[in-house]
Amino acid sequence: GVLGYAPKRAPRRVALVRIPASNLDEGLLTHLERRPVDHARADEQWDNYCAALVAEGWETVEVDAAPELADSVFVEDTVVFFGDLAVLAHPGAEARRPEVEAVERAVRAIPGVEVARILAPGTLDGGDVLKVGSTVYVGASSRTNGEGIRQLRAIVGPRGYRVVAVPVEKVLHLKSSVTALPDGTVIGHPDLLDASSLFPSFLPVPEPEGVAVVELSDETLLMSAAAPRTAEMLSGLGYRVVTVDISEFEKLEGCVTCLSVRVR
């Protein structure tokens, strides 16, 4: 084209989602007591979650339904994106490993995406991976092992990412205890954290359900409706906060991040 007038491509804003399974109520539990899940309510909450992404300019790509895979709605655990590189996870829970196949198909259908994978005996759940700029915090949890972390380091290290392992014992996944604001500040709840001192810029939030935020843009955050005081605090910091009720997924140890994977 004419010098100086190269068309700028709008950044791709695509998020993978996966409709709840019919046996959602059989999802794995590690730290919580089982409580009855209202299926109709879960479906409605999932629809609203997807609608919130769309309303904020995200295109949702649905991974094929897996009616028998109880935890498949928590699609974030199955793949992590590093720009155009998709790293397929090898879930720590055996029951969740069959989820990855259809996710791989969905990922390969996105133009320009390259695929790498974590292999046995390595295990890694996407819920343990928190990207902050070029730093990748990875939870060493009951789901993600040292070999999985080594493999991730070998895959993304050469692409300019620094992998920092974080011990996780009090919660299921690293991102059940911390996530990051668009400016790189890591937010978390002190009761859930094993090692907050690892983060150079850390801000405590008042509610455990408030630790999970999805960055929808530089100024917009998606959060659970279960953390009103945290929402107020973050809106006081200048963010626009969009809330969704995800109570049925919270009963299964899921949070607002685990219901989608953003390609970024």
Please list the active-site residues: 173, 258
When asked if residue 258 is in the footprint of ligand CIR (CB under 6 A), the reply is yes
d(CA 254, CA 141) in angstroms, rounded, equals: 15
CB of residue 126 vs ligand CIR: minimum separation in angstroms?
A: 6
| Token couple for 226 | 């279960």
Distances (CA, A) of 203 to 118, 215, 230, 248: 31, 16, 11, 27
CB of residue 106 vs ligand CIR: minimum separation in angstroms?
A: 17
CB of residue 143 vs ligand CIR: minimum separation in angstroms?
A: 7
Three-class SS state of 176: helix
d(CA 239, CA 41) in angstroms, rounded, equals: 28
Please identify which residue in 19, 53, 72, 76 interacts with ligand CIR, judged by CB under 6 A: 76
Q: Which residue is nearest to ligand CIR (CB)?
A: 127
When asked if residue 193 is in the footprint of ligand CIR (CB under 6 A), the reply is no
Contact present, 141 and 129 (Cβ < 8 Å): no
When asked if residue 28 is in the footprint of ligand CIR (CB under 6 A), the reply is yes
Please enumerate in sequence order all residues whose Cβ is within 8 A of that of 34, keeping only pairs 6 or more positions apart, or say none: none
Q: Which segment (9-17, 25-33, 58-66, 78-86) binds ligand CIR by CB under 6 A?
A: 25-33
| CB nearer ligand CIR, residue 157 or residue 178 | 178
- The response to whether 259 counts as a known ligand-binding position is no
CB of residue 222 vs ligand CIR: minimum separation in angstroms?
A: 14
Taking the CA atoms of 154, 156, 161 and 162 in sequence, report the sign of the dihedral they define: negative
- The response to whether 124 counts as a known ligand-binding position is no
Site for ligand CIR in 114-143 (CB under 6 A): 127
When asked if residue 189 is in the footprint of ligand CIR (CB under 6 A), the reply is no
Please enumerate in sequence order all residues whose Cβ is within 8 A of that of 8, keeping only pairs 6 or more positions apart, or say none: none
When asked if residue 77 is in the footprint of ligand CIR (CB under 6 A), the reply is yes
With CB under 6 A as the rule, give the number of residues binding ligand CIR.
Answer: 19
- The response to whether 29 counts as a known ligand-binding position is yes
Q: Which residues pair with 222 in a beta bridge?
A: 214, 242
Contact present, 75 and 46 (Cβ < 8 Å): no
Which residues are near ligand CIR by CB under 6 A? 27-28, 30, 71, 74, 76-77, 93, 96, 127, 172-173, 175-176, 252-255, 258
